[in-house]
A and B are shown apart, each in its own frame.
Chain A
Amino acid sequence: MDILTLFVVVPVLTVLGLMFAKGKSQFRIIAVVGSAIQSAMAFNLMYQFFKLRDAGDSAVMLFKRDLMWFEPLNIHYSIGVDSISILMIMLTSIIVLTGVFISWEVSDLPKEFFISLIILATGVYGFFISLDLFTMFVFYEIAVIPMYLLIGIWGSGPREYSAMKLTLMLMGASALLLVAIFGLYFNSNADGGPLTFNLFEIAQANIPVSTQIIFFPLAFIGFAVIGALFPFHTWSPDGHASAPTAVSMLHAGVLMKLGGYGVFRVAMYTMPAGAHYWSDFFMVLAVIGVTYGALAAVRQTDLKYINAYSSVSHLGLVLLALLTMNEIGWRGAIMQSLSHGFITALFFALIGMLYGRTHTRIVSKMSGLMSYLPIIGALYVIAGMANLGLPGFSGFVAEMNIFVGAFQNADLFHRVITIIAVSSIVVTAVYILRLVGKMLMGPVMPEYENLKDITWYEKTGAYILVLFITLIGVLPFWWGDIIQEGVKPFIEPLL
């Protein structure tokens, strides 16, 4: 068994273990142990990766494995990782682990909850390790479907509606994506080779520019819907708001990252000419998403909606940065993906904790919580500051890179776009500071006097996330270099 396939096998084994387990404590233990092993594997993978790199292995993808799957169509189970996939895998494993801690008290059908959560994680891991478009697509869909059950069964509010909307929009997007994949596949023999789903072979194939122009928008939108591209973002706020805490964390922290990752790994890498042709159009959409998300967040009263729109805004920045098509921008995009993953996961975890105590998510019904819930309050402030890009936290580093990258294209159009996007930071500050001021610092409300502060399992989850937010914030160049190395071979065809 190779080191990467284990990322699919271990979750599957965890699921099997859960199926045969009895009793709530067993479910918890198996879920925690399973996801802890995954985290350990992720760090081990990182360690092994650097060891190989230090030893001078300069291949783009390491730990490659290629097995024939459906021979008549030349479909392979093809896997491999570069530094970016490893970072994404690490992000996933940490959020799954913290998510399990945060869901410690799930009482309704706990077994099924953890099973769905871990199947979702399996899909995400598989997506990040695949190099074959077929394998990638299979894992993508595996990641999407458990969301329906997770939101539908354990969610709150209009959960059935939100779950259905999310599933259908993402599946509808995959219709576009699949057409694009077929377009790539049947044009992958432009140089006379066999048809292939392999990412690198397709990228070598010199697909005609006219074909790229047709299929690039399909692939881009197909992926970008899950990355909350305006105007296809509407599934995201409803989905976030209805989902249970751990699912919101995974959803915003990991699942939405599949979009940006897919765009740069598949859409832009295989169809550089298409990307150049369409970049301005999608850039406008992305910047609308950035501003609209931020402005919409200001108007929301529900904590989860605030963060959902904030996510739309911040992930719009990821897409914007990818469309700038220069190295700094891309580095920023990947960093933003990571940073936003940790920050929103922390946010949603905290919202879950607050909701569990106050039983409301409406900002106006909460006030002065800092005096009763000092640790949760402090963590919320940290998350907020990181989100609005305060130096020292991950958000600043990522956004700095994005804006520097975006500003490098010297024409008027890009300048204007960048300036509009930058102004979203100010709006972010507005809604975060207002929220913190009202909810945490406002006059004390006596009905919240008896609330208990954070418990040990919540603390474990939250502290891990804070640790990573600050690690990125204080060691930006270390992370930047890692990302840089992964970005380079993928941006080359675009330059």
Chain B
Amino acid sequence: MNWNTFFLMRHEIVLTLIILLLLLIDVFVDDKKKLNPIAIIAFAVYTLLGFLPLESGSLFGGMFVNSPLINVLKNAMNIGVLMITLSAVSWVNAKMLPLKKVGEFYILLFSSYLGMLFLVSSGHFLMLYLGMELATLPVAALAAYDIFSRKSSEAGIKLILNAALSSGILLFGASIIYMTTGSLYFSSIANNVSNSYLMILGLIMLFAGFGFKISLVPFHFWTADVYEGAPTPVSNYLSVISKGGAIFILMILAFVVFNQLNYLWLPLFYGISIVTMFLGNFFALRQKNLQRFMAFSSVAQAGFILMGMLSFDQMAVTSVVYFIAIYIVSNIGAFGVIQAVGIASGKWEMDDYNGFYRTNPKMALVLMLALFSLAGIPPLAGFFGKFFLYTSAASQGYYWIVFLGILNATIALYYYLLVIRSAFLRTSENPIPYFKSDWYMRISMILVAIALIMLGLYSPFYSYINSLSIL
């Protein structure tokens, strides 16, 4: 193994080093509060390293692949995780510092993220499975991290059971595919795809396993409970990083590995996309708790992403990766504000936000930007993300689903406006009192606000992804 091949794995290697370093420091540092800046600075340095140029290549005989496109996604997820850790500091200090459980939080979070990195780089079903397990197990621990909260334990159990079930299904699917093609390498499976019934069964099981991860309807039932019960930074992580990575690898599987079976998965994606958008949105309409609300909103967003995959060409890859990057930022913005409010005042319900703008104008503004971006209102980034997903679907003549998608964006706008109505339109006798967040949170929110405004308008970002999106 020479330096160049080593360099291909730099994300994974550096992150592993950081995790080990944190483990060590955790032992020697008494003032656990100091772990926050250490972890964040280490991760920030690692994030910067990701921007070094990279050639495509593969390792371990093709088990691990990396390419500029994957690198873009990893960088986007890096920034996402960085923002999540920044916004998580206040929660860690408030809840975990007294228990001296600061170090583990970062170690578990980064471990899970390491799994995510392996997952998106996988070129072999074993690597895919390993990555997925590594990504999921620490999150289950994190979901149950708030040990004095019953809901948190419930979230942990629900997540681990669902994850185990879905991993099982996925693994079964992978075994069946191995049975029919005789290989676990993506590249050789792609050459040996047949349309036997066994193959189709394997494919469906595989996609069902992913359906759990991405929380597509009808595999979405765990989402709301877990998001509600888990500590907000963890829900945040689950909703963006976990989902984004799984969607990406699902796309690679569908476009590259099972390209010849597209007559099979296209109608599947088509139907699931519509159902996911509608059900996610309809459930979100009735939610009062903002974490549950965000859970269903993120279910619906996954439906949109699936719609963008329908053209399975360069445009689809571009629009999906582009959307994931934007969705990460938007969701982190919304979750960040919800979390800051929850920690400062203990309020999680929509009605508690009445008069929010009048007491905390800046936070309310970030919330509005994030929600409008999720709803797809220009000139915020989310509009461009959604627009290109629609374009991708429409390019193959799927005008109906585009229409339904935009209709769903309108339904979604309704419930996003409900939150904005509470925060901006209404006044309250007992509003959320003015609070000052710590520096970490502020930096994170400022980054979010800038990204939301600039990411869409700055078109070279899209062109750059497009130039890399050749599968």
Contacts and interface: CB of A to CB of B under 8 A. Distances in A.
Interface in B399-424: 399, 402-403, 406-407, 409-410, 413-414, 417, 420-421, 424
Contacts of B409: 171, 175
Given A174-B406, A175-B403, A141 B383 contact: yes
Contacts of B420: 148-149
B459 interface: yes
Contacts of B402: 178-179, 182
Given A174-B406, A175-B407, A164 B395 contact: no
A141 B384 CA distance: 12
Contact of A141 (B315, B378, B391, B421): B378
Contacts of A148: 417, 420
Contacts of A190: none
A183 B425 contact: no
A152 B425 contact: yes
B424 A152 contact: yes
A164 B421 contact: yes
Contacts of A172: 407, 410
Interface string A165-200: 001100110111011001101100000000000000
Contacts of A153: 424-425
Interface stretch (A48-56, A67-75, A368-376, A409-417): A67-75
Interface in A140-161: 141-142, 145, 148-149, 152-153, 159-160
A451 interface: no
Nearest to A153: B425
A70 B463 contact: yes
A138 interface: yes
A355 B459 CA distance: 48
Interface in A311-358: none
Contacts of B395: 186
A194 to B, nearest CB: 13
A185 to B, nearest CB: 8
Contact of A167 (B383, B413, B426): B413
A153 B459 CA distance: 34
Contact of A179 (B403, B410, B413, B417): B403
B379 interface: yes
B425 A163 contact: yes
A138 B413 contact: no
A167 B315 CA distance: 31
A72 B414 contact: no
A303 to B, nearest CB: 24
B312 interface: no
B27 to A, nearest CB: 48
B377 A160 contact: no
Contacts of B406: 174-175, 178-179
Interface in A33-78: 69-73, 75
A462 to B, nearest CB: 30
B399 A152 contact: no
A253 B237 CA distance: 46
B459 A69 contact: yes
Nearest to A173: B410
Contact of B390 (A75, A152, A160, A182): A182
Nearest to A135: B378
A70 B466 CA distance: 10
A164 B421 CA distance: 9
A244 B407 CA distance: 29
Nearest to B463: A71
A207 to B, nearest CB: 14
B7 to A, nearest CB: 29
Interface in B413-471: 413-414, 417, 420-421, 424-426, 459, 462-463, 466
A141 B377 contact: yes
A152 B357 CA distance: 13
B383 A179 contact: no
Contacts of B394: 179, 182-183, 185-186
Contacts of A159: 425
B318 interface: yes
B contact face: mostly helix, strand, loop, or mixed: helix
Nearest to A75: B459
B414 A183 contact: no
B62 interface: no
Contact of B413 (A71, A139, A171): A171
A72 B463 contact: yes
A33 B80 CA distance: 41
B462 A168 contact: no
Contacts of A152: 421, 424-425
A18 to B, nearest CB: 14
A75 B372 CA distance: 23
A80 B425 CA distance: 37
A167 B417 contact: yes
Contacts of A182: 390-391, 394, 399, 402
Given A138-B378, A164-B421, A167-B413, A72 B403 contact: no
A163 B420 CA distance: 12
Which of A137, A164, A182 is packed against the most chain B CB atoms within 10 Å? Answer: A182
Contacts of B426: 160
A223 to B, nearest CB: 15
A430 to B, nearest CB: 37
A367 B244 CA distance: 65
B404 to A, nearest CB: 9
B98 interface: no
A464 B158 CA distance: 66
Nearest to A175: B406
B410 A171 contact: yes
Interface in B343-379: 372, 377-379
B267 interface: no
B49 to A, nearest CB: 28
A160 B418 CA distance: 10
B397 interface: yes
A182 B426 CA distance: 38
Contacts of A142: 378-379
Interface string A441-476: 000000000000000000000000000000000000
B424 A72 contact: no
Contacts of A164: 414, 417, 421
A71 B390 contact: no
B390 A70 contact: no
B459 A71 contact: yes
A234 to B, nearest CB: 16
Given A70-B459, A172-B407, A179-B399, A138 B383 contact: yes
Nearest to B395: A186
B377 A145 contact: yes
Which of A141, A160, A163, A171 is packed against the most chain B CB atoms within 10 Å? Answer: A171
A175 B378 CA distance: 14
Given A152-B425, A183-B399, A186-B397, A145 B372 contact: yes
A181 B149 CA distance: 51
Contacts of A141: 377-378, 383
Given A70-B462, A164-B414, A149 B424 contact: yes
A138 B379 contact: yes
19 contacts: A70-B462, A73-B388, A75-B459, A134-B387, A138-B378, A141-B383, A159-B425, A160-B421, A164-B414, A171-B409, A172-B407, A172-B410, A175-B406, A176-B403, A178-B390, A179-B403, A182-B390, A182-B399, A185-B391
Given A72-B463, A160-B426, 18 more contacts: A69-B459, A70-B459, A72-B466, A73-B315, A134-B387, A137-B378, A149-B425, A152-B424, A153-B425, A159-B425, A160-B425, A164-B414, A164-B417, A171-B410, A175-B403, A183-B399, A185-B391, A185-B394
**7 interchain residue pairs of minimum CB distance:** A175-B406, A182-B394, A152-B425, A72-B466, A138-B378, A171-B410, A70-B459
